[in-house]
Amino acid sequence: MAEQQAEPPGFSVVPGAAVHRSLAGRRAEIIDLVEDAYRLHGEGRTVNPPSYFLRFPDRPTARIIALPASVGGGLGADGEAGVDGIKWISSFPTNLGLGIPRASALLLLNDPRTGYPYACLEGSIISAVRTAASAASAARRLAEQRGTPRRIGFFGTGLIARYIHDHLSELGWHIEEFGVHDLSAKYAASFAEQVLAPTGTPVRVHPDAESLVRSSDLIVFATTAATPHVVDTSWFDHNPLVLHVSLRDLGTEVVLRSANVVDDVEHVLKADTSVHLAEQETGNRAFLDATLYDVLTGKFTAPADRPVVFSPFGLGVLDLVVGAHVHRLATAAGDTVPIDGFFHELDRHQSAGTS
């Protein structure tokens, strides 16, 4: 039987502006899409190896991370095909002093049948959106169990905080007050004025972390902290919901005092995250109460008598799911940039271009 001849693979680029256009007005849709991805992951229909960290002895604050992943088919109502791929994302905090964002990224999508990459997307927007959608999903489902928060506090006021605010706004909550704190008073004031004030909800800029935490029902940690700096458990005596997106803000005692929900146990217990440090100190993982999949499927109910902390390490499968969706939307809108002839050697026996 003759082998079936595959069509020569196409390849296209989706620039950041096209990514932004594809995602505009779709925050609620993306939150649901990310939840679907978590369900697939919990059902064992994904492959999500450990992230790989490239570090530099001469630039100790910088890193580039590779997140390979594979997502099975049947995602969402349309049952889209699966996708393989990798996110390559850098974090260079010194960029802030240059007036450019700390993080930059690209996302490669591979055809699961042939392995050929078929698209390269600007990845920083996708990364921020999937992070925010993950946080919003956890907040929505945990708040359904514990009650809707009325006071939301943001510790850290960068790009991720803005995206999280945007996605939380899709949940339809009535918020009585926003709180803001940042080590930079300038950044905190700008975030309060440009991001939160237009909502019409009262905004309070807090001069210190303690007052922000104590006055918030839901706290978003979106900092660049490398080591824990919030260590006083009494700050959390009112048992708030904590979206610990930056992963390294909370001290071990705060972690152990809380109910802890993570996105993936094996992934989050590494790279000196707060929960990883708690595991090292206690010698066990008993303080981890559930995964987000457990919350979504009703296997776990969040307690009301302890703080509840969601610590998402960030899964490559989420980038792939959002990225593949963006690629479909951009393609349908004619918003991709095809790279004709990107793959050159397609005949296994004849050199292309020879006479």
Q: What share of the chain is helix, strand, coil (3-state, %, to 5)?
A: 35, 25, 40
Look up residue 326 and give its amino acid: V
Using alpha carbons, select from 111, 137, 125 the residue that is nearest to residue 11: 111
What is the pLDDT at residue 322?
97
pLDDT tens figures, 36-68 = 999 999 999 999 999 999 999 999 999 999 999
What is the pLDDT at residue 347?
66
What is the pLDDT at residue 197?
97
Q: Which CATH number fits domain 12-127+316-338: 3.30.1780.10, 3.40.605.10, 3.40.50.300, 3.90.190.20?
A: 3.30.1780.10
Query: Do the beta carbons of residue 176 and residue 202 sit within 8 Å?
Result: yes
What φ, ψ does residue 225 adopt, rounded to 5°?
-60, 135
- Domain(s) of CATH 3.30.1780.10: residues in the chain: 12-127+316-338
Calpha distance 233→219 (Å, rounded):
14
**Strands 117-122, 103-110: parallel, antiparallel or unpaired by DSSP?**
antiparallel
**Strands 151-155, 177-181: parallel, antiparallel or unpaired by DSSP?**
parallel
Calpha distance 175→187 (Å, rounded):
22
Architecture of domain 133-311: 3-Layer(aba) Sandwich (3.40)
What φ, ψ does residue 91 adopt, rounded to 5°?
-130, 110
- Domain(s) of CATH 3.40.50.720: residues in the chain: 133-311
Look up residue 224 and give its amino acid: T
What end-to-end distance do the CA atoms of the chain give, in Å? 32
DSSP structure string for 80-112: B--EEEEEEEEE-GGGGGGTS-SEEEEEEEE-T
For the chain, which residues score pLDDT lower than 50? 1-2, 76-77, 355
